[in-house]
Amino acid sequence: MESCLLTGGAGFIGSHLLDSLLERGMRCVVVDNLSSGSLENIKHWLNHPRLKFFPIDLLDFKGLLKVLRRHTCDTVFHLAANPEVRVSSVRPQIHFQQNVVATYHLLEAIREVGGVQTFIFTSSSTVYGEAEVTPTPESYSPLMPISVYGASKLACEALITSYAHLYGFRAIIYRLANIVGSRSKHGVIVDFIHKLRNNPNELEILGDGTQAKSYLHVNDCIEAMLLGAEKSRGKVEIFNIGSEDRVDVKTIAKLVIEEMNLKNVRLRFTGGVDGGRGWKGDVKYMLLDINKLKSLGWKPKYNSLEAIRLAIKEILNQA
């Protein structure tokens, strides 16, 4: 890898990836419409000679094509997406447009311009739906997502796979667990901190609190993505990225309260929907099998509990 296009490069995971790519000496073209990303995340790089930043939307096909024609890249990291899983239950068109159509535009632009050798995509554990096998391996089937967000990610995987076979580039798909850490603007940790700042006496918890999932620190995630890109060899490769354990929502709430030095906080559970889920389409239990990526030499430095505690500290410090 010498030059890359990074979509969503001003976002949470994208900005951390940009840090690593530029530190490795790569030339980077970042495309981000700043709908969920922020220039604050990448301000320390904005004047760097190896970075070009374009505040355009992937739905703007002509604008995207113009950027790619002017700045050819051998590698694409496609992270741009609407990350709010809950939105899909009330406004499904958002995930169709911002995830599926946006990915199609990117693939079409790459096909027209040419030159791309490797396409790397951040998918999601939500493509598995409610898996009957845990830890869930990449080979698990049938894939039956229960949210439009998960369905949109699975649709993107199918598009990317077909374009890789038809148009001669390599594809790497990463199915991510819950990624946490500095610069994050959404998710359970951010939600709890926001609620407790508004009312330090009571914390509303969506669902019944027993929802348990795998959490991974963003630094571990970036290391996994780069190692997989360097060491995998298949035409199309799919890797799970996560930790080897999981933590329930009630435990996360207690950790946030502890790190905020609050006392006597009342936990108020909403009870949730469909058997204690936080919202319609919420996968209640998730744990990924990461042995495939571990076989290439990667292993997370932090377990779920350690990642969450570190992320809480980082998010509190950045506010």
Residue 301 to residue 124: CA distance in whole angstroms:
21
Structure tokens at 98: 């911002």
Question: Could you tell me the domains of the chain?
Answer: 3-179+216-241 (3.40.50.720), 181-214+245-286+303-318 (3.90.25.10)
For residue 191, what are the contacts with CB-CB under 8 A and spacing of at least 6? none
- Active-site residue, from 104, 128, 140, 149: 149
32 half-sphere exposure, CB direction, 13 A CA radius: 26
pTM for the complete prediction? 0.97
Neighbours of 240 (CB within 10 A): 26
pLDDT over 70 at 319, yes or no: no
pLDDT over 70 at 11, yes or no: yes
Structure tokens at 177: 């667990």
Of all residues in the chain, the percent with pLDDT exceeding 90 is 93
The mean per-residue pLDDT over the stretch 23-43 comes to 97
- 128-174 tens-digit pLDDT: 999 999 999 999 999 999 999 999 999 999 999 999 999 999 999 99
| Beta carbons of 64 and 109 less than 8 angstroms apart | yes
Of all residues in the chain, the percent with pLDDT exceeding 70 is 99
Residue 174 annotated to the active site? no
**Confidence label for 318 from pLDDT (cuts 50, 70 and 90):** confident
